[in-house]
Structure 1
Amino acid sequence: MKQALPKYVLALLLMPSLIWAQRSGSPSTTTSPNQIPSKASNSAKTPNSNAGTSSFVERGTWAIGLTTTTNSGIFGGFNLRKSWNKNPSRQPIIGLDIVNLKDYREFTSPFSYNGRSYIEGKLNNLLIVRPEFGMQWMLFKKSSEGGAALKGILATGPSLGIKIPYYVDVSYLDPNSGRTIIKSIPYTETMANSPTGRSVIVGEGGYFAGSGDSKMVPGWHLKSGFDIELNTIKRNYLSLEVGFIVDVFQNPVEILNQTSPRSVYTTGYLTFFFGRTY
């Protein structure tokens, strides 16, 4: 009995170690740590996948345009426009046009001085500012594979005409000093019986040379046209608009000498718009 007692004591001391070794070596019935992150990652991927598949909803557009008209040169002015796409078939728009309007009977004088020219008989420049509100209707939508869309446009608003005297540079002989002087004067003074009136026109002056003597002529306008929205990349916006504008002013505006002043001016226009959707 005295020799067997140490064996039992040794067995009692080793039993906790054996039980712990058996538990650590046996397969666990609970979820492994490697599986828990995979579930978390799957749940984390779900909202990302939904966000990736969600399409961009276009709320509207901002655009700036460069325009040419039948009553202007190659560059007739520029435009600003904003639209809202609450209704896919009909969108309200607001815009601002700033254009230079000319009389269709204007012609460049055949006489020039050192290659400079001027408009024969022109009395005033007419700058028009047109704030407007209107509507555009979807006529043909873009196909699923891309392409162009066609919209019809109808807009109206006030026409703020700014009548600026047309200035020319003249060369004349100063009777006091006997020297040749070049001066910028209104074209109306070249027709007067004065020292500058008996001068030689050497070319036109600056467009805003007579801005200090400009006068405001209020009016109203109506615009109708077609807008061709081109296929773009990402959120860029490109379109080509062609149409017709009627300006009606409160008072007749005289642009050329020896022609009847008019209150109604009609204009065909072509505008290239570029901007962004939001």
Structure 2
Amino acid sequence: MRPFLYSAILLPAALLAASAAQAQEAQDAPSYEKEFTYGINLNTNAGLIGGVAVRSTRRLNDDWARFWLLEGVEVKSRKEQRVQNNIGGVYVQGKTNYLFALRPTVGLQRTLFRKAAESGVEVDAMFGAGPSIGLLLPYYIYYDYTPKPDPQSNPNPREDIRAEQYDPVKHYEVNKIYDRAPIFSGIGNVKPNVGAHLRGALNFEYGRYRDAVAGIEAGFLIEAYTKRLVTMEVTGVPESRLNNNLFNSVYVTLYIGSRK
């Protein structure tokens, strides 16, 4: 009689515990297969906003996912110094090229802490690699070629201000640098360069609903190019002291997106 009583008590309890475990597992399991996000990038090699990024993620199983990412950012030299002349013009002293980087990345994502289906924060570890396409865009300035007035031959010379790529030899008189020209003034003379990059990050994903997602990706990136990318030139200073072909940065990407 007593074994039967134990069985009558323990069997329903075991079934109830198994049912609860299955329900918890179903709740914890990812409720989507694909995710697409886009956001803005902030990194230590750029200004306030470094660039933009889009990412597509496909789950392989409960713990692993595969992703591709495309990132476009501006890379600035840490030796850059903005100066302002006496008429209010602002430019970067010694800068001769902008550097923009396009980074297609393929990688894997491992779930470390899973959130509930409807809310909470999920933490993932991300590792990826891919090529880097560096684009050197000429940095143009407005330079004042207006001649000095000559009381006899040319008392009122016509103003002559030209937009040109900065050249430390040609534009050695800094007091004649009028201002920085628009960023795409030299778009026709872009020089591409090839490299590669590695990245690692932690992804903090917050999803209030099943079909919406927002989060923060925080990580580090190492990038190398086949040759030195010249963005700065200063008379009397070797290029190797001002320019690099190896870059590293810490970054944060704030993103939103959808999943299904």
> Normalising by structure 1, what TM-score?
0.73
The question of 1:134 aligning with 2:107 is answered yes
Matched, 1:273 2:255: yes
| Aligned pair partner of 1:252 in 209, 228, 238 | 228
Q: Which amino acid aligns with 1:207?
A: I
Name the SS of the counterpart of 2:188 in structure 1.
helix
Q: Find the counterpart in structure 1 of residue 151 from structure 2.
A: none
Q: Does 1:237 align with 2:210?
A: no
Greater strand share, structure number? 2
Give ranges in structure 2 of 5+ residues lacking alignment: 1-28, 149-153
- Could you tell me which runs of 5 or more consecutive residues in structure 1 were left unpaired when the two chains were aligned: 1-54
Per the TM alignment, residue 114 of structure 1 is displaced from its structure 2 partner at its CA by 3.7
Instruction: Tell me what 1:191 maps to.
Output: 169
CA change 1:146–1:56 in 2 (3 A) is closer
| Partner residue in 2 for 1:67 | 41
1:228 matches 2:208: no
Which deviations, in whole Å up to 9, do the C-alpha atoms of 1:234-270 show, x marking residues without a partner?
A: 4111010111111100111112223523110111111
Contact 1:113 1:202 in 2 (8 A): no
Counterpart residue type for residue 88 of structure 1: D
Percent identity of equivalent pairs? 25
Please give the alpha-carbon distance, in whole angstroms, between the structure 2 residues aligned to 1:129 and 1:65: 15
CA distance in 1 between counterparts of 2:231 and 2:172 reads 20
Question: How many residues are paired up?
Answer: 220
Give the Cα separation in 1 of the matches to 2:88 and 2:225: 36
Task: Please tell me whether the aligned partners of residues 113 and 203 of structure 1 are also in contact (alpha carbons under 8 angstroms).
Answer: no
The yes-or-no answer on 1:100 pairing with 2:74 is yes
From 152, 172, 178, the equivalent of 1:202 is: 178
Q: Which has the larger radius of gyration?
A: 1
Paired amino acid for 2:33: R
| In 1, Cα distance between equivalents of 2:86 and 2:59 | 55
Q: Taking structure 1 as reference, are residues 242 and 274 closer, same or farther at Cα in structure 2, changes over 3 Å only?
A: same
Which residue among 115, 120, 123 is the counterpart of 2:93? 120
In the aligned structure 2, how far is the partner of 1:246 from the partner of 1:152? Answer: 17
